[in-house]
Amino acid sequence: MDNQNKTIVSQSGDGWQRRSAVETGVAGRCPRCGEGHIFDGFLTVRDRCEVCGLDYSFADPADGPAVFVQLFACVPGVIFIVMLEILARPGLWVHIAVGIPVLILTTVLPLRPIKGWLIAAQYVNKAQEAGTAALWAKLHGDAADKKRRR
> Which 3 state secondary structure label does DSSP give 48?
strand
Give the mean model confidence (pLDDT) for residues 29-48: 96
| pLDDT-above-70 percentage for the chain | 83
Look at residue 5 and tell me whether its pLDDT is greater than 60: no
Kindly report the average pLDDT of the chain as a whole number.
84
Whole-angstrom Cα distance, residue 138 to residue 149? 17
Domain count of the chain? 1
User: Which pTM value belongs to this model?
Assistant: 0.73
Distance in Å from the first CA to the final CA of the chain: 17
Range of the domain at 136: 2-149
Long-range contacts formed by 39-42: CB under 8 A, 24+ apart:
39/112, 39/116, 42/112
Look at residue 146 and tell me whether its pLDDT is greater than 90: no
Neighbours of 14 (CB within 10 A): 16
Give the mean model confidence (pLDDT) for residues 45-51: 96
Residue in 102, 93, 96 with CA at minimum distance from that of residue 74: 102
Banded model confidence at residue 150, pLDDT cuts 50, 70, 90: low
Convert the pLDDT of each residue in 62-78 to its tens digit: 899 999 998 888 888 88
Model pLDDT, residue 1: 41
Whole-angstrom Cα distance, residue 38 to residue 35? 10
Give the chain's length.
150
